[in-house]
Chain A
């Protein structure tokens, strides 16, 4: 069966510091991968998605970037965090070339101080 992992689960970082959040999927090949941010008490906003290794699409202009160095690995990064980057970050995957639902990881709670 497929599983999706995210780490770390919780992160507290100072303003201006770098960021690296990792997401990995097991049990499937060539998934579509997604990064979402959920601000407190709000819905999910799609940040990035990827349909293959090295292929990244950005949905909103922001301080963040994403990379997909391996088929089942998706990384969210920042060179310098802003206060507004605080939130709950969710990674999701979906079978490519299908219209199945997306499956979500457990999330990372990021607090920027």
Chain B
């Protein structure tokens, strides 16, 4: 079974600064997908970024980028130019290919952006 570990329960960053959230996973699969979801106080789960394991290039979405290290099974999220609206819980998630393609989530990192 796959496991996803987020070792930082809470983090804080000042507005306009850069922060990196860590995620590691364990799997015997060679092809899979990784995601970062954001859950603001409204509790709506919002996709931030996705990465296909077969792609070597790291995904980027505006101020959000990932550092995907397949051999190390590491998938960190970098948020540049942090904004107050980035305050949220961030969840790393793993999806294997196959029927139903279920998501396995980490326990989350609570990010607080301060003035």
Using a CB–CB cutoff of 8 Å, the interface residues on chain A facing chain B are 32, 34, 42-46, 49, 51, 57, 59, 88, 90, 92, 94, 99, 101-104, 106-107, 109
Contact segment of B39-47, B69-77, B79-87: B39-47
Interface of A (DSSP majority class): strand
Interface presence of B33 (CB below 8 A):
yes
- How big is the B interface, by class? 20 to 34
Known: A42-B108, A43-B107, A99-B95. A104 touches B45 (CB 8 A): yes
Chain A residues near B103 (CB-CB < 8 A)? 34, 44, 46, 102
The tally of CB-CB contacts under 8 A between chains A and B is 50
Q: How far is the CB of B101 from chain A (nearest CB, A)?
A: 6
| B107 & A34 in contact (Cβ 8 Å cutoff) | no
| A32 & B101 in contact (Cβ 8 Å cutoff) | yes
Using a CB–CB cutoff of 8 Å, the interface residues on chain B facing chain A are 33, 35, 37, 42-47, 50, 52, 91, 95, 97, 99-108
